[in-house]
Amino acid sequence: MTLALLPLPARAQQPDSIPADTLAPVVVTGVRLPTVRELARGLAGRTATLGAVDLDARGVRSLADALEQLPGVTVSDELGAPSELDVTLRGFQVSPTIGLPQGVTVYLDGVRVNEPDAHEVNFDLLPLEDVDHVEVTYGPSVLLGRNSLGAAVNLVTRRGAAPADREVEVSGGSFGRYELKARAGDRRGMWDYYVGARYEHEDGWRALTRSRIGTLFGKVGVNTGTWDATLSYAAADNRIYQAGSLPESVYAVAPRVNFTSGDYFAPQAHLVTLHAHRLLGGGRVQVAMNAFGRTLTADQFNKNASPPDTRERNRERIGGGAVQVSGTLSLIARPLRWLAGVDGAYQHTAVRLYAVRATSPDSLTESVLTKELDWGAFMGANWPLAPALTATVAGRYDYIRVPFEDLLDPGQSGLNIFRRLSPRVGLTWSGPSGHELFWSVSRGFRAPALVEIGCADPAAACPLPFALGPDPALRPVVATTYETGWRFRSRTGRVDVTADVYWTHVRDDIFFVAATLTAGYFQNIGATRRAGLELGAQWASRPGEGSGGLRLYANYAYTAATFRSRADLATPRDPAGEAVLPGDALPLVPDHRANAGISVPLVAGGASGPSLRLGIDARYVGRQWLRGDEANTTRRLPDYAAADASLTLAWKRFEVRCSVRNVLDRRYPSFGTYAENPLAPGTPVQRFLTPGLPRHLQVSLSTDF
């Protein structure tokens, strides 16, 4: 396989309704620059694609919910809010929760949306309903950008196409949930446009957990034959009340209780993105570029069991861009495909923390500022060693400057600078009869975030995120991954089978060490490891997009995420610290994860007749150690199985879809930790659990006009 150059199509095709999890290359249309197929199999390793059909069919509400369809992805709910779930992929986390070591990077049309304060991702800000497809590249990223230790996830938004597409959807369901969505797109000559809007309201299945989410997205494009460019705008204005976890005794009898009612997250975000590319030299060279500006203003309130309550107000202003050149030249009578580029971003982040008392005005306790500068340069090449054997090599250099300014006490300010070269090499063999093999080794790194830098002193534990200072320097996290895989795809396209084995050694992993209910600090751990096996298979009676045949899929993943060096970690169960030994498992990473599904036409319909389709998706999640039990000495969270079902009726311009999540109404905890219970006599340390969502129904009606 080679690094091929492709202009962006007018509208990217949607893959089949069953998730495509493959070792084959994907058109990486927006990780940095959206118009170049910049990865080959030997470079990217395992990839997966979720199309618009996958996102719509199950009634997914967020990116976290959508990724759960893929092998090795586990979703948990620490905050007690369905739109703010945590995701674990290959033992690495991506979450909206401050304090977790984030190892997955998320992009929206090439713009990194991990927040600069703690590298968290606010899934509720992403316009998932305006996404054409989601691309997942497993393993450390070299060409895609920094901080991608476990994977890079890219959301590629829709673009207007001919004929015109206009749709309105109204839906309602359990727990007072209703949703309104509308979108329209068209192409006229060299111009095209797309616009989408969404409003969602829910009372919440747990007490006092209402939410309001509103997003707006628009894109204008022009294709002159020489230039292809788009200008897009995304906005979100949300308010989400959170329930959090419960003491196990409360969870057992009243899972709908809100233990500390009043917690909320209220963000406002705006993103403007410009993409452009041009072919030169008769199409042999392509120049691509992007530029973006992003703002986020967030108000987060945390109600404590004992006063004072706390409030965090963030203000982020981010701007940056990238330039990339790619092309082909001849080397020993064989095509050498290459690319090179630079990218950079300036991030202005202000964090203010307040103590909140009912009888007095809020008092400012912390005010810190960072003006972070990120700069990177990357290059890659792909060359066939033989007709069936291709070698790839790539590298990336990053420079990250993170100044820390304490606006209340300037004497506490400091500066952190991180530099790193990240390489990647790979081989791909394309055999007969649809068989393919690949091998790759890559290295990536993650620089400490502002919150981690400001809370790294064991002698001064922080009541996160409410005390920051210039603590001892943290080292960047470095991950080295060895990966090999096999894929078979039949010539008819009906059968697609994959197998992948990986081994990731992580040096200087960063963990938040929680000594009490709310206080702790970040520290480097000598070494950890993520290793595993991923299997996937799918079968379609009628391969191809839009076909109405029977489809089946199944995935399995085994993940061994362990500590590889001794560490003394303080936890709420033992504030003095307990020894974590090599071989102890990382918390909240199940060993086994499996999912399977079927999509079957009950009524085939025709050109004008109605069609009826049934979809069933089931998943199994193995046992997990609780956060706060890194030494693996207490009971694990139990394993569980759950299933979702959907029934879709389409007739002429109308479609009615009925989706039931957790159709068997299984009761299980999706998250667990140890913490002090300040409402119990003696403030004992107890197991805290977050209940999984019960059975809930959603019915939607959509129509084209």
Q: Residue 284: is its pLDDT beyond 90?
A: no
Q: Report the pLDDT value the prediction gives residue 163, as an integer from 0 to 100.
A: 93
Mean pLDDT of all residues in 102-130: 93
Rounded distance between C-alpha atoms, residue 195 and residue 182, angstroms: 8
Strand, helix or coil for residue 410: helix
Task: Identify the pLDDT of residue 469.
Answer: 52
Domains (ranges, CATH) in the chain? 20-247+254-704 (2.40.170.20)
Q: How does pLDDT run across 169-196, given as a tens digit for each residue? A: 999 999 999 999 999 999 999 999 999 9
In the three-class reduction of DSSP (H, G, I as helix; E, B as strand; rest coil), residue 444 is classed as strand
**Average pLDDT estimate for 627-649:** 95
**Residue 317 above 80 pLDDT?**
yes
Sign of CA dihedral 670, 512, 260, 369: negative
Which residue is associated with the tokens 């893959």? 15
- Report DSSP state, residue 585: B
| Local confidence band at 22 (pLDDT 50, 70, 90 cut-offs) | very low
DSSP letter for 412, please.
G
Top pLDDT among 573 and 318 is at 318
C-alpha gyration radius of the chain: 25
The pLDDT > 70 percentage for the chain reads 89
Residue 544 pLDDT level (bands cut at 50, 70, 90):
low
pLDDT for the residue numbered 33: 53
Phi-psi region of 466 (alpha: psi -120 to 50; beta: other; left: phi over 0): alpha
Region 14-23: what's the mean pLDDT?
40
pLDDT digits (tens, 9 = 90+) for 36-86: 344 443 455 788 888 877 777 666 778 888 898 888 899 999 999 999 999
Q: What is the mean pLDDT of residues 505-525?
A: 78
Could you give the 3-state DSSP secondary structure of residue 426?
A: strand
Tell me the CA distances in angstroms from 320 to 268, 293, 323, 372, 580, one per residue in order. 20, 7, 11, 12, 41
Return d(Cα 171, Cα 138) in angstroms, integer.
Answer: 34
Check whether 513 has a pLDDT greater than 70.
yes
Neighbours of 583 (CB within 10 A): 11
The predicted pLDDT at position 176 comes to 96
Q: Which residue has the higher pLDDT, 232 or 408?
A: 232
Confidence of residue 546 (pLDDT cuts 50, 70, 90): low
Tell me which of 48 and 546 has the higher pLDDT: 48
pTM given for the model = 0.91
Residues β-bridged to residue 551: 540, 599
Q: Are strands 519-540 and 211-223 parallel, antiparallel or unpaired?
A: unpaired
Instruction: Note whether 32 and 339 are within 8 A (CB).
Output: no
Average pLDDT of the chain? 87
pLDDT in tens, 208-223: 999 999 999 999 999 9
Please state which of the ranges 151-160, 254-263, 288-297, 678-687 shows the lowest mean pLDDT.
Answer: 678-687
Average pLDDT rounded to a whole number, residues 408-431:
90
Nearest to 392 by CA among 135, 39, 24, 152: 39
Give the span between the Cα atoms of 337 and 35, in whole angstroms.
15
How many Å separate Cα 493 from the centre of its chain?
Answer: 29
Q: Is the model's pLDDT at 334 over the cut of 80?
A: yes
The predicted structure's pLDDT at residue 23: 37
